[in-house]
Structure 1
Amino acid sequence: MNAPRGTGPYVDAHHHVWDLSARDQDWLAGAALAPLRRNFTLADLAPEARAAGVGATVLVQTVTVADETPEFLALAADSDLVAGVVGRTDLTRPDVADTLARLRELPGGRRLVGIRHQVQGERDPEWLLRPDVRRGLAAVADAGLAHDLVVLPHQLPSCARAAADHPGLTFVLDHLGKPPIASGVLEPWASAVRALAARPNTVCKLSGMVTEADHAQWTVDDLRPYADTVLHAFGPERLMFGSDWPVSLLAAPYGAVLDAAELLTRSLGADAHAEVFAGTARRVYGLPGG
């Protein structure tokens, strides 16, 4: 693919790591995910990221386990690559504010930049609108953190309502809201994502597209209608690149994912390009250099 690269260093606003000897990743079930059933560490990521011109990353929660966020903060504290951590806490607990304060006091706690809950696994499409969750989201806002949304398309309307209910909280949509790229279908996802983007306190990650496409034979043209939709809806100042490594390895190497994002945004001017590939992430997550 080898798209021409802009000036770096880039920010990769979304990746994961895991160590199966320390903790099982129970979501890695089935033959399709077999290539991911091994350890993926920062030592694995670092050379790939550096070779692609990435100078800073955001490490994002993976499993619903309380110990994972402190572990990720400790990794960030010892890393010159991980500039921020999107962790996890139980938003339904009445002591969310105290929990966030304790996380901030841990080694690497100053690198906590956001909180994410696996909303995609909730049966209630309006889970985000529950009173106990609303209280938790308010605590995240009060702590000065962002809230990452990992949701499915049918959950996007509740995301827009939550964003309206919490104007002081920045909501970051992961993976474009997981549109059905492999099928080529745009609606009703496109209308729902535009409604979310109409809320000024929302941001979208240009991430996760290759794994929603046909892993074996996707092309940039397959991704383009979806990338164009979010680029026009959010604008480059509210769009940020994320690799979704190592999940993205199911469909493409690290560099190819970045190349695809470059090709999908090649019409942007230099300033807008810099927003998508660094500025938005630094500003939204309060990363150094922002």
Structure 2
Amino acid sequence: MIVDAHHHLWTAASTPWLAAPEQAPIRRDYHLADLVPRLDLAGVTATVLVEAGRCDRAEAAELLAIAAGTPRIAGVVAWVSLTDPDVAATLDGLGALPGARKLVGLRDQVQAVTDPAYLARPDVRSALATIGAAGLVYDLVVQVGQLPAVGEAARATPATTMVLDHLGKPRIADGATGLAQWRAAVTPLARCANVVAKLSGLLTEAGPGWDTARIRPYVDVALELFGPQRLMAGSDWPVCELVASYAEAWAVLHDCLAALSADERAAILAGTAVRTYRLEVGS
């Protein structure tokens, strides 16, 4: 079984960040009809559909409606602002939406925040605790420089499970310097038992000149620090299409995991995502 723990669907007109010139290759609509053939070719059993940076409440209703009618989408990670003045009420509203049974996690675009003390704010810490108390996971999309603050937030809210998207967006294109910087930043975070990490988005961070040899060191360090039981895999499609196809994103991961035991691969390719997000998937 394979679970794609991180992909998106969007309409370009509703996704403002796609207006940037560098996003031109993926500035189009990506719908379920685009996704399903890719799942079939890659042998993917189930998926987790993640908010796509729209940062509006209407997106959650749309994503949950798609998931409700699509058995292979086993979970949805929707957007919520960590500075929402009444996060509990917002979660109640999300829970009342059609398809809310598949709401498994929440995410905000923390990567865009410039305040270095943001994750230490009392309202942000309170929101993270509220999300955990509601039985939901919090996905972290952050830059590598934010990882120390993420560790502090994770230690302050130990009852909230956090998922580190894209391994914290290491600067793979910077070569050995990027690897050393990321390893130093992610090592303390990996000691937090409530943090799980995603092997996703790495090809995009590597850039157009990516190859498996540039990705493998990051996977190896992640395995060393988190272990297979705290790692999950995701395509980050369609963002990955900036540099690679859906099939290529999975091929690189399979190559990097080939030396592991069958049980270790099964954990990363499905088990960790199923357990962390409490997904209901078939065998």
User: Does TM, scored on the shorter chain, surpass 0.5?
Assistant: yes
Partner residue of 1:244 out of 236, 240, 253: 236
Partner residue of 2:254 out of 246, 262, 269: 262
Contact preservation (8 Å) 1:194, 1:230: no
Residue of structure 1 in register with 2:149 after alignment: 158
Q: TM-score, normalised by structure 1?
A: 0.94
Residue of structure 2 in register with 1:122 after alignment: 113
Contact preservation (8 Å) 2:74, 2:281: no
Name the CA distance, whole Å, in 2 between partners of 1:104 and 1:255: 34
Residue of structure 2 in register with 1:93 after alignment: 84
Name the CA distance, whole Å, in 2 between partners of 1:288 and 1:50: 19
Residue of structure 2 in register with 1:49 after alignment: 39
Contact preservation (8 Å) 1:11, 1:56: yes
The one-letter code of the counterpart of 1:67 is A
Name the CA distance, whole Å, in 2 between partners of 1:211 and 1:164: 29
The one-letter code of the counterpart of 2:19 is A
> For structure 2, which runs of at least 5 residues remain unmatched after alignment?
none
Contact preservation (8 Å) 1:126, 1:155: no
Q: TM-score, normalised by structure 2?
A: 0.96
Name the CA distance, whole Å, in 2 between partners of 1:50 and 1:136: 38
Runs of 4+ displaced beyond 6 Å: none
For residues 106-136 of structure 1, give each alpha carbon's deviation from its aligned partner in whole angstroms, at most 9, with x where no partner exists: 1110101001010000011231110111111
Secondary structure of 2:185's counterpart equals: helix
The one-letter code of the counterpart of 1:179 is P
Superposed, 1:58-97 pairs within 5 Å as 58-62=48-52, 63-97=54-88
Name the CA distance, whole Å, in 2 between partners of 1:228 and 1:126: 31
Number of matched pairs? 279
Residue of structure 2 in register with 1:134 after alignment: 125
Q: Does residue 275 of the first structure (1) align with residue 267 of the second (2)?
A: yes
Residue of structure 1 in register with 2:201 after alignment: 208
Q: Which protein has the bigger helix share?
A: 2
> For structure 1, which runs of at least 5 residues remain unmatched after alignment?
1-8
1:213 CA drift (Å): 0.8
Residue of structure 2 in register with 1:6 after alignment: none
Contact preservation (8 Å) 2:4, 2:47: yes
Name the CA distance, whole Å, in 2 between partners of 1:289 and 1:33: 33
Secondary structure of 2:236's counterpart equals: coil
1:86 CA drift (Å): 0.4
The one-letter code of the counterpart of 2:66 is L
Name the CA distance, whole Å, in 1 between partners of 2:137 and 2:202: 22
Secondary structure of 1:17's counterpart equals: coil
Contact preservation (8 Å) 1:84, 1:287: yes
Residue of structure 2 in register with 1:189 after alignment: 182
For residues 133-182 of structure 1, give each alpha carbon's deviation from its aligned partner in whole angstroms, at most 9, with x where no partner exists: 11111110110001000000110001000110011011100001111111
Partner residue of 2:137 out of 121, 137, 146: 146
Contact preservation (8 Å) 1:210, 1:257: yes
Contact preservation (8 Å) 1:125, 1:154: no
Root-mean-square deviation over aligned CA pairs: 1.2
1:26 CA drift (Å): 1.4
The one-letter code of the counterpart of 1:134 is R
Name the CA distance, whole Å, in 1 between partners of 2:12 and 2:252: 30
Residue of structure 2 in register with 1:38 after alignment: 28
Contact preservation (8 Å) 2:12, 2:18: no
